[in-house]
Amino acid sequence: LDLGCGWGPVSLALAFASPKADVWAVDVNERALDLTRANAKSNGCEHIHAASPEQVPADLAFDAIWSNPPIRIGKDALHDLLMTWLPRLNPAGAAYLVVQKNLGADSLIPWLATALGDDYEVSKYHSAKGYRVIEVLRNK
């Protein structure tokens, strides 16, 4: 799952890295979804499914979630977004969230750990140039 796919660069990278995987590219912006569809088609990636959140089957779970989450939508909306999608990780699944340090990356880590509970491990995976990559692992 590429959550907040924009024009689809992460979706394309995931599709190229795992050519047999179904990649779901989710965004609330229809123009972004149109761009993702066009980019997937022009790159021969028929297994990218660009969709709005409500178009994703409710019972679909994911082995991996990648996101540069929309921090500026506000804390409550961000927390709702993350708690909607992160619990859809399959057991032993992983999520990677790229968040600017000055936009609350360091405080998001303990919040996620508490909100997700004991079935998940949350940590700082990497840090560079003012950004954090937060890793969320779902235990088996």
**Sequential pLDDT tens for the chain (140 residues):** 999 999 999 999 999 999 999 999 999 999 999 999 999 999 999 999 999 999 999 999 999 999 999 888 999 999 999 999 999 999 999 999 999 998 889 999 999 999 999 999 999 999 999 999 999 999 98
Write down the domain spans for the chain: 1-59, 61-140
Query: Would you identify the CATH topology of the domain 61-140?
Result: Rossmann fold (3.40.50)
Cα dihedral angle (67, 18, 92, 83), rounded to 10 degrees? 20
pTM over cut 0.85: yes
Closest C-alpha among 68, 47, 83, 89 to residue 3: 68
For the stretch 59-89, pLDDT in tens is 999 999 999 998 889 999 999 999 999 999 9
Distance CA 58, CA 73 (A): 23
Three-state DSSP state, 124: strand
Apex 72 CA angle, 99 and 109, nearest 5: 35
